[in-house]
Chains A and B, each alone.
Chain A
């Protein structure tokens, strides 16, 4: 069964499209890895939030406050600003000992000193 010219052209076009997609995807993944974005991405396998974390996050008191960049500067606006900012800082400080050195000590990893 001979292939018509049109069928052959469609096959060539399909193959060409797949080849371009493979090249572009490879380039994107290389950039994604080399730029370091891969380390900031929590949606990659193994880094998705677990159930306990989602539960903890839902307990966090979230504020929708956003200080407006227009309007007069009055005592009341600054009081409101400080009140909300201090709330945010309080929530930020609730994360206990981030990047604590203890997590990687010989003792924690079980490596004997002697």
Chain B
């Protein structure tokens, strides 16, 4: 009898934890929050469209510079080093950094597409189910955060490239 009671309490506790975990992951929405989303759906969507417009501008601006940096600076430098038969450890590091930069640039573009798809789904979503709308908003925020991570990664690789070129300059 004691075993049965213990099992019952354990299962109840596990279910409770699971429900609690799910609500934390999805993002809890208060009753006021839900009512606000339903009542001000169009206003929220207008703000989201403005964000989408501004992000599109940011992508073109930043993506344009990434393309310029890799195609007019990093790649020609590495080609020139190869043509001058410089293939030491530093030249190899510069080449490896170029590959990482190109990967980070692709990630930036792909993650932007994923983020925009998600944002567009949110803009077209039905506010009637406020919790679902809010869960989608949480997903969009996570994808937006990935964009910041991608930008930081490219920034880190650019700094590394400059550091390596300065080392190259030091040798000349």
Which chain A residues have a beta carbon within 8 Å of chain B's beta carbons?
A: 36, 39-40, 42, 46-47, 49, 53, 65-75, 78-79, 81-82, 84-86, 88-89, 91-92, 95, 98-99, 101, 103-104, 106, 108-114
A101 touches B141 (CB 8 A): yes
Question: Is B124 an interface residue, CB under 8 A from the partner?
Answer: no
Question: Is B40 an interface residue, CB under 8 A from the partner?
Answer: yes
A39 touches B117 (CB 8 A): yes
- 3 closest A-B pairs by CB: A36-B113, A39-B116, A69-B79
A108 touches B47 (CB 8 A): yes
Question: Is B156 an interface residue, CB under 8 A from the partner?
Answer: no
A72 touches B137 (CB 8 A): no
B36 touches A70 (CB 8 A): no
Output the least CB separation between A72 and chain B (Å).
Answer: 7
Which chain B residues have a beta carbon within 8 Å of chain A's beta carbons?
A: 29-30, 32-33, 36-37, 40, 43-44, 47-49, 51, 53-62, 65, 68-69, 72-73, 75-77, 79-81, 83-84, 86, 109-110, 112-114, 116-117, 120, 134, 137, 140-141, 144-145, 147-148, 151, 158, 162, 165-166, 168-169, 172
Contacts of B120 in A (CB 8 A): 39
A113 touches B30 (CB 8 A): yes
Mostly, the B contact residues are: helix
B172 touches A99 (CB 8 A): no
Output the least CB separation between A5 and chain B (Å).
Answer: 51
Tell me the nearest residue of chain A to B31, going by C-beta: A114
